[in-house]
Amino acid sequence: MVGGIQGDGSLSSSQKKMLNDEYKEAAKGFQAALDKFNTMDGKPQKHECKNVMHEYMNVMNHVAADLKKDQLLKQTSDLEADLKVLDEDDSATSQLQADLDKLKKN
């Protein structure tokens, strides 16, 4: 075993836990940025919140890929698609919030 990754490329249970914890923290940060986005009036402030959401989205994508969980990958992909819609329409938060809520339940 090297760095928690076994010779066959699988993750150790401690590494899986660490990645799951990292994913949950990124989801919390994403939620906080979305909450702040919803309270902002100005375009520059909303843009900054979107940048933060994109940063957390990158973490979530990488962790989901490392964990190789199909359901998590699908939910993360759905959330990323919702974020792309939000990039075009600042009022498109309801589906983003719904998919984030679904993701947090799992």
Annotated domain spans of the chain: 13-105
pLDDT recorded at residue 104: 86
Average pLDDT, the chain: 90
Query: What residue has token string 């973490």?
Result: 59
4: left (phi over 0), alpha (psi -120 to 50) or beta: left
Distance of alpha carbon 50 from alpha carbon 77, whole angstroms: 17
Per-residue pLDDT band for 9 (boundaries 50, 70, 90) equals: low
What's the average model confidence in pLDDT over 43-58?
96
What's the average model confidence in pLDDT over 5-30?
86
Distance of alpha carbon 9 from alpha carbon 92, whole angstroms: 39
